[in-house]
Structure 1
Amino acid sequence: MTEIILHNLLSPVVLFFVLGLIAAIFKSDLKFPNGLSEGLSIYLLIAIGIKGGIELSHYSIQSVLGPIVGALFLGIIIPFITLFILKLMKMDLKNSIGLAATYGSISIVTYGAAISFLDKNGTAYEGFMNALVVLMESPAILVSLLLLKTLENKNSGLVLSTRNIGFVPAYANLFDKEVIRESLFGKSILLLVGSMLIGWVLGERAVPMVKPLFMDLYSSVLILFLLNMGLIAGQRLPEVKKHGMKLVLFGLLTPVLFGSLGVLVGSMVGLSLGGVTLMGVLAGSASYIAAPAALKTSVPEANPSIYLGLALGITFPFNLIIGIPVFYELAKWIQ
């Protein structure tokens, strides 16, 4: 285990992330232009999506049905577990919903780093795992926001109709069009799903055109992105600290809990060692792209320094340095 963690620590993607952290902590003038940062995000979303679509074209629906069900199960159950934990911690509802959406969704970059880890170790994994990334991005956001509506209305079975024509059931307000639109058609979901569908429809015909940019250069672009993420994570660390040690422990322990659940589910649906590891990484990661974008408009009362600070300042570096090799070893043990 120690050798694997050390091996992961000395990989270029982790070292460049640490370099970004150091730059932020010591207030270096190093920074990425907004346009470049946005461009790197778009690149990674397309690269992961199109590779997943191409690989998915090699499989029948029947062969991937089990992993798809497992991925959706994790995306739905993790927000409920998160809310239960935060209730014990006496966290207020709005911030609890923010963390439930964030930790129920996934980190694409953590997943990309896990792929690099497996490739470096020579561990094979199912190509359709890239497609599961798309499936796990959105459900937790929708579930968390619907839970918010439900919990807010639980003490009143009826609400006044906006047309003043009487009372209507509270559940009539559960489905907010803006929430659904943001969850399904936000930038990250749109690019992931769209790229995956394009790769799935074209299959191997797309490889000659996309390989030079989206496959051969993937690891190099990931290094640039993680350098930028290190800068952002370093800037967010003070925001997390001021909210107390309980939240810091939440950001460190829940990835282990959810990642272990992901490893168990991955094993139950018949994935390989690499696939089980990736399922654990997905379940144990936290979103700092799709979920915060939806929360910003849907739950403005939730404090971004809590859900974004924890996801980016605590959980992301923990998974990058320790979580990935731990889930790999756990997958080996359970397999």
Structure 2
Amino acid sequence: MDTIIMIGTTILDQFQQPTLSFLIAGMMLAALGSRFEIPEPVYKFIVILLLLKVGMGAGISVRSANLIDLIVPALGATAVGIVIVLIGSVTLARHRGVSQVDGLATAGLFGAVSASTLAAGMAILDDNGMAYEGFIGALYPFMDIAALVTAITMAKLAAARRAVTVSGGAGVIAGGPTAKPGNAGTNGGMVRDILVDTFQSPAISALIAGLVLGAFAQPETVYHSFYEPLFKGLLSILMLIMGMEAWSRLSELRKVAHTYILYGVTAPFIHGLIGFGVGLIAHELTGFSGGGVVLLSVMAASSSDISGPPTIRAALPEANASAYLGTSTGLGTPVAILSIPLFVALAEALI
């Protein structure tokens, strides 16, 4: 009974968090036929501010970390982010009835990191007296950016291949260069073009620009006085917009809702165990702490609720927000939080 109450309380708490509550409010507005709208230029401005803030915060964390101690866990975090998306690409994204771009967008959010889930993991470790490295917060951008870039690149590559097939050998990469037979239409050229297009996109560019500024400049004054105070308010507006979009496309998920539910419930455990395995390798190689292993697992189990949604929405506007946001924030986040005691127990048993 206590377990059921804890699960119910955790889920209710997630519904009251700004990310999910404003998303639901947007869906309610759309359901009631509201004419509420945010002009596209204003929306794009909000996304750029949000991602600059996320990138700067990550860069500041990286700058203050011990780079020698950071390098092995950072490489491991990058690998975990990529592997999670690759797993999603051959499971969820290939399931019958699931749109490939929706599946990859969902996998991208699950490969990226939830800052709130990471904070919950730190609080639990503090309560248990389990030590962890001070640079742990600097690991999340490595997993976050790797997962998002991989998911976006794979989705655009799949779309380009479909365009080439439909047109009989010539297609256009949305927002990027033309794919021509024997040149950019080849796999190598197509991948290169899409990678360039992805890194030049406003969302990824803003994220990376913020990361570089935070790591190599000293933007703390403007970060704390301008970006940080605006962040939660701007994020709530973004969630309203995405909630209205999600409602308009909710009907597309009726036939495959069970697939997303299964993925949302099982993926955090599988991804967390992958993170735990990589953390154990880092522990053997560098003496990475047991608490660090747990938090790497928590990052892997979590799904992005801050940097991921605006990045995916900006880079893959054709993806169904009902699918990737509903699965990640509605299911993945509560399950990831509930899985934290499992990883703590594993660390205490094995390390």
TM-score by length of structure 2 reads 0.69
CA distance in 2, matches of 1:186, 1:170: 19
CA displacement 1:245-293 (0-9 Å, x = unmatched): xx21222222333322332233332536555323321489996555566
- Label 1:323 to 1:233 Cα distance change in 2 as closer, same or farther (>3 A): farther
Q: Shift in Å at residue 311 of structure 1?
A: 1.5
Query: What does 1:41-120 align with in structure 2 at a 5 Å threshold?
Result: 41-85=47-91, 89-90=95-96, 95-96=99-100, 98-106=101-109, 111=114, 114=117
5 Å matches for 1:130-279? 130-132=140-142, 133-143=144-154, 172-176=186-190, 177-202=192-217, 205-241=218-254, 244=255, 247-268=256-277, 269=279, 271=292, 273-279=294-300
- 8 Å CA contact 1:106, 1:283 repeated in 2: yes
**What residue identity is the alignment partner of 1:174?**
G
Paired residues of 1:261 and 1:283 also in contact (CA < 8 A): no
Residue identity in the other structure for 1:280: A
Q: Residue 93 of structure 2 contacts residue 103 of structure 2 at CA under 8 Å; is this kept in 1?
A: no
Going from structure 1 to structure 2, the CA distance change for 1:145 and 1:24 (only over 3 Å counts) comes to closer
CA distance in 2, matches of 1:56, 1:49: 11
> Structure 1 residues 45 and 107 mapped into 2: Cα distance closer, same or farther (>3 Å)?
farther
- Alignment of 1:311 onto 2:324: yes
Cα distance in 1 for residues equivalent to 2:248 and 2:162: 33
RMSD, matched Cα: 4.1
Residues 88-108 of structure 1, C-alpha deviations (whole Å, 9 max, x = no match)? 74459xx43x24532332379
Structure 2 equivalent of residue 127 of structure 1: 137
Please say if residues 247 and 322 of structure 2, whose CA atoms lie closer than 8 Å, have aligned partners that are also in contact: no
> Deviations for 1:53-112, whole angstroms, at most 9, x for unmatched residues?
0010012333233333333333433344334335874459xx43x245323323799835
Task: Determine if contact 1:262/1:276 at 8 Å carries over to the other structure.
Answer: yes
In structure 2, the gaps of 5 or more residues are: 1-5, 127-131, 170-180, 280-287
Aligned-residue offset at 1:199: 0.4
Report the Cα offset of residue 231 of structure 1: 2.2
Q: SS of 2:189's equivalent?
A: coil
Q: Which whole-Å CA distance do the structure 2 matches of 1:30 and 1:108 have between them?
A: 32
Q: Distance in 2 between matches of 1:315 and 1:135?
A: 17
Task: Tell me if structure 1 keeps the 8 A contact 2:51–2:207.
Answer: yes
Equivalent position of 1:40 in the other structure: 46
Identity %: 17
- Structure 1 residues 171 and 60, CA gap change in structure 2 (3 angstroms): farther
The size of the alignment, in residue pairs, is 306
Distance 2:93 2:109 in 1: 22
Work out the CA distance in 1 between the residues paired with 2:138 and 2:232.
19
* Offset, 1:15: 2.7
Per the alignment, in what secondary structure is the counterpart of residue 59 of structure 1? coil
What residue number does 2:338 align with? 326
CA apart distance, 1:190: 0.7
Correspondence 1:14 to 2:26? no
2:177 aligns with none
Residues in 1 aligned to 2:329 and 2:30: alpha-carbon distance in whole angstroms:
16
Question: What letter corresponds to residue 82 of structure 1 in structure 2?
Answer: G
Q: Measured at CA, do residues 43 and 174 of structure 1 come closer, stay the same or move farther in structure 2, by a change above 3 Å?
A: same
Measure how far apart 1:48 and its partner are. Answer: 0.6
Structure 2 distance, partners of 1:152, 1:24, is 32
Provide the rounded CA distance (Å) in 1 between the counterparts of 2:83 and 2:111: 19
Q: What 5-or-longer segments of structure 1 have no aligned partner?
A: 154-158, 160-166, 297-303
Quickly say closer, same or farther: Cα 1:81–1:127, change in 2 above 3 A. Answer: closer
